[in-house]
Structure 1
Amino acid sequence: MDKIKLVAMDLDNTLLNGEKKISLHTKEVLKEAIQKGVLIVPATGRIFKAIPEFIRELAGVRYAICCNGATIYDKGEDKIIYTNHLSAQTVYKVLDLLDGYHCSQDIYRNGKGYMESRFYHHLEDYKIEGPMYEIIKTTRVEVENLREDIKEEGKGIEKMCAFFDDLEKKKEVWQKLNQVKEIAVTSAIWNNIEINSATCNKGDGLSHLASYLNIPMSQVMACGDASNDEKMIEAAGFGVVMENGIDVLKEKADFVTKSNEEDGVAYAIEKFVL
């Protein structure tokens, strides 16, 4: 195994525990890796603003792969270095499909999340609870009509998301969305669906970032747990999957680490990087 120079990590159910926090031990391990010159890169379905401040402000965390690879952000120079976005026409098509089901709808555009009032004030109807409830409440811009909002500014649409209270309906929608050739469909949380451009995924984003930094993929480690991490695990030279991760991802892993409640990311970094 080559010396690891970059570690990309999913957040929810990977780096973060069930309370959306990290332990003191994990924080110290991340700091030690950074001090040794290793790049620590959040690779998340979230917009940059929704990455916890204690990660965003960690000295040495400069780059972030956001919205499942739709946008790569360089915090050091406050600039975007790569995008892979949805067209307005594709978003309209997906919204039309979602309208036929009981699910929430939101879009991520230019680093912000947007959600209609009819969903924003009834999150509990879609089993959006606990820390995720707070994240959405504090990171979404409330609008009356997404279609009208998109019509005014149709560019920079990074991702769409829907939450379901009925998993059978989620499965049905997933199957229908998979027939839309312009999109890629993944999930990060048990009751959500995430929609990106067909060529957009964390693996694509990670490959572009590594190329930008002149780091070969053989020197990249990636950590994840869910379907939206699959392409990243495949692309990285060394793929780490959490014990709490989905089985199909574990089959592709170079190493299955401890769970997100047991500092699994820190354990893998200590074992293979430090």
Structure 2
Amino acid sequence: MDKTTNYMYNVPMKYKLIGLDLDGTLLRSDKSLDKSTVGLLEELSKKGIHIVPITGRPLSGVPQAVREIDGVDYIISNNGSKTVDNKTGANIFSLAMTNEQSREVITEVKKTGAMLEVFTNHYGYCEKNVFEHYKDVYAGTVIGDYIFSSRKEIDSLDILFDNTGNEADEVFIICKDEADRERIKKHTDKISDIQYCMLADRFLEITKAGTDKGTALQMLCKHLEIGLSEVIAFGDGENDLQFLQKAGTAVAMGNAVDCVKDMADIITYTNDNKGVEKALKDLIGD
């Protein structure tokens, strides 16, 4: 099977779910949606195919234009920590850290002096110094638009979890450099049942061990009584690997990192060149 963008074939099987990463995949670089791609997704949803965004964003950071796509009944957010009902926002599944874990992670990361934010209840929460950092770096950019729509400033992260039942989906840490990231990771290694995801050259995410997009996809498919072989998954980044590996057909975007391209069944065009739409037309038809 040719994995390049020059493939032209149809797969003789019935798909029941399309899993879509957002940034770098369904969303163009300017964070907009291609209208004809949306139109095709809605036509496929009328044929009974579930359209499921699978993103690292919290629910509050999922663009309204994505949530309004007909057929998007469920959203997997926070890199698999939450699976939610798109209409009500209710949690279908949660893979969050416990309240005790959440408090321990926050306490230990604060000891390192690093800037951090915590995701819970569909938002990211950060203290004043982090919020000001985001203003300085991202104000007036498309990334800033996303950040300021999905984050809330709070006096202290501790009050989110002390004497409450709140559970953190993720703790996101802004490190000075790679060496600083290793220092923070080493300091928090003593905490049980957590895992790390290293992003770019200086960011670190802490989540509950076993939490990823692939586990969440598997749980949703079981809930919907859909076989993983009946799933088409699209992604571009390392945090997409687990759900691409679970899917019956894995599609890497033309702009994907090499490790995603290497494991994918198909490599389509880039997110700025209708990659999702072109692959779906060949796989399912229009």
- Regarding TM over 0.5, the answer is yes
The answer as to whether partners of 2:221 and 2:228 remain within 8 angstroms in 1 is yes
User: What do residues 195-225 of structure 1 show as CA deviations (whole Å, max 9, x unaligned)?
Assistant: 2210111001000111111110000111111
Q: What amino acid maps onto 1:146 in structure 2? A: L
Which stretch of the first structure deviates more once superposed, 254-263 or 63-72?
Answer: 254-263
Where do 1:129-148 residues align within 5 Å? 130-148=141-159
For residues 105 and 172 of structure 1, the distance between their equivalents in structure 2, rounded to whole angstroms, comes to 15
Q: What amino acid maps onto 1:95 in structure 2? A: I
Aligned to 2:92: 81
Shift in Å at residue 145 of structure 1?
0.9
SS of 1:55's partner is: helix
- For structure 2, the 5+ residue unaligned runs are 1-10
Shift in Å at residue 166 of structure 1?
3.5
Q: What amino acid maps onto 2:278 in structure 1? A: Y
For residues 187 and 272 of structure 1, the distance between their equivalents in structure 2, rounded to whole angstroms, comes to 33
Q: What amino acid maps onto 2:279 in structure 1? A: A
Which stretch of the first structure deviates more once superposed, 24-33 or 141-150?
Answer: 24-33
For residues 83 and 28 of structure 2, the distance between their equivalents in structure 1, rounded to whole angstroms, comes to 24
In structure 2, do the counterparts of structure 1 residues 157 and 141 end up closer, same or farther at CA, with 3 Å as the change threshold? same
User: What do residues 28-82 of structure 1 show as CA deviations (whole Å, max 9, x unaligned)?
Assistant: 2222222222111010111212110001112221110111111111224653211
- For structure 1, the 5+ residue unaligned runs are none
User: What do residues 139-173 of structure 1 show as CA deviations (whole Å, max 9, x unaligned)?
Assistant: 21211111232213243321222344645544654
For residues 208 and 112 of structure 1, the distance between their equivalents in structure 2, rounded to whole angstroms, comes to 23
For residues 155 and 76 of structure 1, the distance between their equivalents in structure 2, rounded to whole angstroms, comes to 22
For residues 190 and 269 of structure 1, the distance between their equivalents in structure 2, rounded to whole angstroms, comes to 33
For residues 60 and 283 of structure 2, the distance between their equivalents in structure 1, rounded to whole angstroms, comes to 30
TM-score, structure 2 as length reference: 0.85
The answer as to whether partners of 1:71 and 1:83 remain within 8 angstroms in 2 is yes
The answer as to whether partners of 2:161 and 2:167 remain within 8 angstroms in 1 is no
Where do 1:1-274 residues align within 5 Å? 2-76=13-87, 78-99=89-110, 103-123=114-134, 127-128=137-138, 130-164=141-175, 166-167=177-178, 169-170=180-181, 173=184, 181-186=192-197, 192-274=203-285
For residues 216 and 284 of structure 2, the distance between their equivalents in structure 1, rounded to whole angstroms, comes to 22
Q: What amino acid maps onto 1:108 in structure 2? A: F
In structure 2, do the counterparts of structure 1 residues 5 and 20 end up closer, same or farther at CA, with 3 Å as the change threshold? same
SS of 2:28's partner is: coil
Cα RMSD, aligned residues only = 2.5
Report % sequence identity. 28
The answer as to whether partners of 1:85 and 1:156 remain within 8 angstroms in 2 is yes
Which structure has the larger Rg? 2
The answer as to whether partners of 1:65 and 1:73 remain within 8 angstroms in 2 is yes
TM-score, structure 1 as length reference: 0.88
For residues 19 and 166 of structure 1, the distance between their equivalents in structure 2, rounded to whole angstroms, comes to 27
For residues 29 and 186 of structure 2, the distance between their equivalents in structure 1, rounded to whole angstroms, comes to 29
Shift in Å at residue 228 of structure 1?
1.5
